[in-house]
């Protein structure tokens, strides 16, 4: 049961990571990258490492995503990259 | 030609990782080092949370290095994104056009959630030696609260100078406690300079809670400075 859950979460990390690379809309890609980080945090909790999960959730999916958001705003590349 | 090369590199990585995965077997017993940590941290340091005990005491110098790296990042971000004093901060709503203020949803939500986030961050920092978390994690939580505050109140009362001074003072005290450990205890950042106290209570585990609090303040202020730089 736990293995299935871990596999599911790891699959979600993969899917959102690939989406972050493939999506043309920069905003959506950024959210997807943050989602990959959030799933990684969930997998750390499942693997009994809550200390690491806390740092990953706060920095990886919170602060890093916001910094990307600011960067996108500053370069005014709102929608596409092509 | 280039594609073939890239493919070769990727295939090489694949071979390396395939070897790692194939040779992986889960340990059924603890290694000698893990056994040492698991017995020694609660007995010698008096910390119920082994991870924080290791991070702040046995590997305290490592943690100081991590914080120094974070400081370097904040400084270099400041150099690269140095802004004119007259520049207005970017008014950044979560969604919406440029130049608009934050949306109703963000502002009202922040009023409800912000105290909880700060309370949780403080809790994580203070209880680092008892439950999961510690200075670094709690500081990151506090910084994400500051981030929400900056989103909700773009012209808010947060001063750059205040953050910098807080961060610098926390760093100075951190190193001072480390040197105090050299004078009174057994070495740099030794946590035995304060009494060990009762195992499992809030004020226990020697200097670990104190170092944890300073670490939390420093990390929180540093990350907030980085975000603040990106904003302006």
Say yes or no to pLDDT of B186 above 80: no
The verdict on ipTM greater than 0.90 is no
Domains in chain A, number:
1
Residue A11 belongs to a domain: yes
Instruction: Choose from A47, A59, A76 for mutation: most chain B CBs within 10 A.
Output: A59
Q: Which of B4-8, B68-72, B95-99 has the lowest mean pLDDT?
A: B95-99
Query: Does a structural domain hold residue A80?
Result: no
Average pLDDT over residues B12-36: 85
- If phi > 0 it is left, if psi is from -120 to 50 it is alpha, else beta; for residue A76 that is left
* Counts for chain B of helices (H) and strands (E), in that order: 8, 0
Asked if the model's pLDDT at residue B139 lies above 60, the reply is yes
Cα(B189)–Cα(B73) distance, integer angstroms:
24
Q: Does B12 score more than 90 pLDDT?
A: yes
Domain that holds residue A45: 2-75
Give, rounded to a whole angstrom, the gap between the first and last alpha carbons of chain B: 45
Helix axes B160-184, B60-80, angle to 10 degrees: 160
pLDDT at A59: 87
Buried/exposed A46-80: b ≥16 CB within 10 Å, e otherwise: beeebbbbbbbbbbbbbbebbbbbbebbeeeeeee
Binary contact (B143, A54; C-beta < 8 A): no
Domain spans in chain B, listed from the N-terminal domain onward:
31-80+92-231
In a domain, A82, yes or no: no
Residue A81 lies in a domain: no
Question: Residue A77: pLDDT above 70?
Answer: no
Question: In this complex, do A63 and B147 lie within 8 Å of one another by their Cβ atoms?
Answer: yes
Question: Contact B140/A69, CB-based, under 8 Å?
Answer: no
The answer to whether residue B133 neighbours chain A at the CB level (below 8 Å) is: yes
Q: Check CB contact under 8 Å for B137 and A62.
A: no
Q: Are B56 and B135 in contact, with CB atoms under 8 Å apart?
A: yes
In this prediction, residue B97 has a pLDDT band, given cuts at 50, 70 and 90, of: very low
Across the interface, of B92, B136, B227, the residue whose CB is closest to A63 is: B227
Using the Cβ of B83 and the Cβ atoms of chain A, whether some distance falls under 8 Å is answered with no
Q: Residue B90 carries which DSSP code?
A: P
User: Does A58 contact B at CB distance below 8 Å?
Assistant: yes
The SS3 of residue B12 is helix
Q: Is the pTM of this model over 0.90?
A: no
Phi, psi values for residue A76, rounded to 5°: 50, 30
- CB–CB contact A71 B230 (8 Å): yes
Asked whether residue A40 is assigned to any structural domain, the reply reads yes
Interchain CB distance below 8 Å, A51 and B141: no
Q: In chain B, which residues have their Cβ closer than 8 Å to the Cβ of A66?
A: 147, 151, 227, 230
């Amino acid at each position: 049961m736990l293995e299935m859950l871990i596999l599911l979460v790891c699959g979600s990390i993969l899917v959102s990571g690939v989406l972050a690379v493939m999506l043309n809309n920069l905003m959506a890609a950024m959210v997807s990258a943050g989602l990959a980080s959030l799933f990684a945090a969930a997998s750390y909790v499942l693997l009994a490492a809550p200390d690491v999960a806390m740092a990953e959730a706060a920095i990886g999916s919170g602060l890093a995503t916001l910094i990307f958001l600011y960067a996108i705003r500053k370069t005014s590349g709102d929608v596409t990259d092509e | 030609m280039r594609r073939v090369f890239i493919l070769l590199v990727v295939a090489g990585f694949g071979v390396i990782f395939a070897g790692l995965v194939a040779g992986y077997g889960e340990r059924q017993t603890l290694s000698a080092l893990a056994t040492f940590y698991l017995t020694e941290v609660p007995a010698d340091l008096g910390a119920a949370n082994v991870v924080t005990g290791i991070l702040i005491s046995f590997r305290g110098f490592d943690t100081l290095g991590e914080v120094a790296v974070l400081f370097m990042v904040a400084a270099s971000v400041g150099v690269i994104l140095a802004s004119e004093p007259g520049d207005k901060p970017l008014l950044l709503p979560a969604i919406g056009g440029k130049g608009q203020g934050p949306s109703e949803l963000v502002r009202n939500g922040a009023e409800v959630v912000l105290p909880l986030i700060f309370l949780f961050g403080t809790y994580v920092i203070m209880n680092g030696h008892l439950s999961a978390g510690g200075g670094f994690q709690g500081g990151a939580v506090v910084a994400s609260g500051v981030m929400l505050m900056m989103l909700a109140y773009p012209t808010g009362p947060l001063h750059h100078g205040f953050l910098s001074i807080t961060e610098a003072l926390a760093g100075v005290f951190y190193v001072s406690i480390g040197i105090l450990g050299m004078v009174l205890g057994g070495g740099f950042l030794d946590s035995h300079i304060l009494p060990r106290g009762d195992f499992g209570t809030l004020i226990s585990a020697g200097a670990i809670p104190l170092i944890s609090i300073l670490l939390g303040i420093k990390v929180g202020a540093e990350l907030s400075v980085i975000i603040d730089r990106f904003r302006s």
